[in-house]
Structure 1
């Protein structure tokens, strides 16, 4: 765990994961980026109206006999709605808990994104995802960051844009892909 002081208010900011580079100060709402042991203020995060989620940072649980703890949240939105993506730590592994309209999906990163490009993605098509096989594209859309809190493994400022893809496959397999300007992230 790395503990640094917020450059705006001086409050202690914890980074529990070595992979975390972004945090929102829980006292003054400053958005902060970390590089090694240096921390810099990027801006401020707006207050979020209560979305009635039963989850919060610090919530602990267990999936597949592995304990986890929620350490960050990203509220993702598009023109017709929004959902939460909770950043969780499970030992030394990172994982995500997606929460939308009372439904939950627990995902872990998939390392290989070979052959998947944003230009090849549209709803109704199928795509091959390494270690998962052929997956159907159920939804593909532009999204943006409406809110973030806690620590996250990437910069999640207000308005951050990405392209989100939901996939499903046989035997209740599911996956999601996120395209940003700089990377492709796949989770199953």
Structure 2
């Protein structure tokens, strides 16, 4: 797995991270395995994992092992900076982990599964995660999930200002219908699931 960390212009970071090809020969003293105990995910690590070496602003380097959600194609894997300087977003086979680099015990497995793509929107201080049916928006202050945008498959066509543009499949007509989602007000117009 040869992946790079995505450093988003406009997002400050107080950490450094490196994605590893596997477990290191010499591991740091602090090591974390994600997800923590989540019902239904008892054998998540059997699908594989993404390994990261993380150096926070304070404290020593630690190793994070993030279980893959899915081993197949069609979902994303990587690491992104976020609107909060101490947090990083790690996505491993479609499973998103919001890692608090200053307190890794507070790492959160995001509710959107799988994450298909990640789109930085620094103009509104947000990171947009796209799934099969909706979007999950991370901001400096809160995270929120959009209403359903599609019966199956969301395509992002762009982000202009504070608006996400895309298309979503409308099952009754078997057509891709356009939508706009305001990333500030959460207002949705159109999409494949709207009446």
**Pairwise same-fold verdict (TM > 0.5):** no
TM-score by length of 2: 0.31
> What's the TM-score once normalised by structure 1's chain length?
0.31
Structure number with the higher strand fraction is 1
Structure having greater relative contact order (Cα 8 Å, sep ≥ 6): 1
